[in-house]
Amino acid sequence: MKIGLAGLPMSGKTTVFNMATRANAQLRDFIAQSEEINTGVIKVPDPRIDYLTSIYKPRKTIYGTIELTDIPGVSKDETGFSRKTLGNIRACDALILVVRLFPDANVPHIRNSVDPARDLEELTLEFILADLEVVEKRVERLSKEMKTGKKPESIREFDLMSRCKEILEGNGMLADVAKNPEEMLLLRTYRFLAQKPIIVVGSCSDDQVKTPGDPMVRKFQEACAARRLPEMLISAKTEMEISSLSPEEETAFLTEFGIGESGRNRLITEAYRTLNYISFLTVGEDEVRAWPIQRGINAVKAAGTVHSDIERGFIRAEIVAYKDFVEKGGMNGAKQAGLARLEGKEYIVEDGDIVHFRFNV
């Protein structure tokens, strides 16, 4: 899954990026015109993988990963993202919008004051306007096509695009516009910005994170709620500074700061929830591995994420739930208790399924 960090210039995106990927990308001291993007990978911590590794002692252990792209908030004329930036945002499966809450006289704000509600609205309106441009062209094109002969696909698409147009014209987002899986598939081909799963990160000072009812925090949370967007507060600068420590030291610092769970872990959990992701697991002496997939994917498609040959030659999936593996003391115990199942192509894979694919090529 590819997640993009987007937001106004100097909102703290690269700070969040460094915190999440433990990287050391260049922060900014002034509003720049550079469109250079940073990419990195977040390893998804998974205690199930830790445990299975301790049992199998494999040569390799591979955790799930999230690919993170840090898209600079450069704007050509100080109003609006450049085409290139919009293109980079469009290419992501989901977005983390970074909105500034932290006060700091040394960090300039492109709108000259800190106002998370205004900034969030500016970002969402930009997405809406960019999509509206696409939708209007498409509606025009389809209505011409329909004059020359009404093909059922054009009618369906015209209907969907007209609904999108109406919602966007009313400044709405497109998260719920698709009425059925076919419309969902059709919509996906457009890569609309207003339809992407979004998490809003409020980039806060240490005090703001710790002060319930802080006015700036309240303003931010109300703005997110009004747009029905999931939000979280992260003291990104502090967390970035301690992300270069060892995991144990990092945990100790987080406790000392009264932060609790790291922003990185909270982002991962929220990303899985927003994108509706789960992980199935594979085990062996060679490799213990987590495979992130979208919830609702069947066994043969899941096989395809491992290898296209396994998808093509799929026979059956042998499945033991992780919980049963632990309760019965391992694979043999689970099998003896009759808890290993043979499932066919259409079986919907569940979170924590330990899967062995049987296939021939």
Q: Which conformational region is residue 78 in: left (phi greater than 0), alpha (psi within -120 to 50 degrees), or beta? A: left
Among 14, 208, 235, 238, interactor with Mg ion by CB under 5 A: 14
Q: Would you count residue 36 as binding ligand GTP (CB under 6 A)?
A: no
**Interacting span for ligand GTP (CB under 6 A) from 102-110, 170-178, 209-217, 341-349:** 102-110
**Interacting span for ligand GTP (CB under 6 A) from 25-33, 162-170, 222-230, 345-353:** 25-33
Q: Would you count residue 205 as binding ligand GTP (CB under 6 A)?
A: yes
Q: Would you count residue 15 as binding Mg ion (CB under 5 A)?
A: no
CA angle 236, 242, 245 (to 5 degrees): 145
Q: Note whether 35 and 47 are within 8 A (CB).
A: no
Rounded Cα distance between 334 and 325, Å, is 6
What count of other Cβ atoms lies within 10 Å of the Cβ of residue 102?
Answer: 21
In the region spanning residues 294 to 353, those forming contacts with ligand GTP, defined by CB under 6 A, are none
Q: Would you count residue 88 as binding Mg ion (CB under 5 A)?
A: no
Distances (CA, A) of 64 to 42, 52, 100, 152, 322: 8, 14, 29, 41, 16
73 binds, among ligand GTP, Mg ion, none (CB under 5 to 8 A by kind): ligand GTP
Binding mask 38-77 for Mg ion (x = CB under 5 A): ----------------------------------x-----
Rounded Cα distance between 183 and 189, Å, is 10
In the region spanning residues 212 to 231, those forming contacts with Mg ion, defined by CB under 5 A, are none
Q: Note whether 194 and 168 are within 8 A (CB).
A: yes
The residue whose two tokens read 């050391």 is 24
Q: Would you count residue 104 as binding ligand GTP (CB under 6 A)?
A: yes
Residues that bind ligand GTP (CB under 6 A): 7, 9-15, 27-29, 32, 72-73, 102, 104, 107, 203, 205, 236-237
